[in-house]
């Protein structure tokens, strides 16, 4: 009988996921899938992204979410930070183009572990 630990199942909510292949929200979905993550696309205007059920909000996802990757304009992103906090996300990646002083201030005020970097590069992929 093997005593090796089971691999950790990584979960990510890609907030701003899209079906437009040229958009980074879509590129992130595909990159995380290639790396074996469980991916939850979040976009209230999509029913599916890359064949996965899309959620209107991160709070609609059943079960825990380890990481959120934000691909929204800053003025829209501000409105989802409370839901990210409510969901108990461990890491929030604020990707290039999604960042602003307001996002930074609110993320800090909420006590979110916000990382200001490209989440695709973080998992060893190229955007």
In CATH terms, 11-121 corresponds, of 1.10.1370.30, 3.40.50.740, 3.40.50.2300, 3.40.50.720, to 3.40.50.720
Write the CB contacts of 120 (distance below 8 Å, at least 6 apart in sequence). Answer: 24, 27, 28, 31, 95, 126, 127
Q: What angle do CA 82, 88, 92 make, to 5 degrees?
A: 70
Q: Are strands 48-49 and 52-53 parallel, antiparallel or unpaired?
A: antiparallel
pTM score, whole prediction: 0.93
Q: What is the mean pLDDT of the chain?
A: 94
pLDDT of 114 reads 97
Domain ranges of the chain: 11-121
pLDDT of 106 reads 98
Tens of pLDDT, residue by residue over 88-121, are: 999 999 999 999 999 999 999 999 999 999 999 9
> 23 vs 8, which has greater pLDDT?
23
Distance CA 70, CA 75 (A): 12
The mean pLDDT of 66-89, rounded to a whole number, is 98
pLDDT of 2 reads 45
């Amino acid at each position: 009988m093997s005593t090796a630990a089971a691999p950790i199942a990584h979960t990510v909510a890609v907030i701003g996921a899209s079906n437009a292949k040229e958009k980074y929200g879509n590129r992130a979905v595909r990159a995380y899938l290639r790396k074996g993550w469980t991916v939850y696309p979040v976009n209230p205007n999509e029913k599916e992204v890359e064949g996965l059920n899309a959620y209107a909000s991160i709070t609609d996802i059943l079960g825990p979410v380890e990481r959120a990757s934000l691909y929204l304009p800053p003025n829209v992103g501000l409105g989802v930070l409370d839901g990210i906090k409510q969901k108990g996300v461990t890491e929030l990646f604020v990707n290039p183009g999604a960042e602003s002083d307001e996002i930074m201030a609110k993320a800090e005020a909420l006590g979110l572990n916000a990382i200001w970097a490209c989440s695709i590069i973080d998992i060893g992929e190229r955007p």
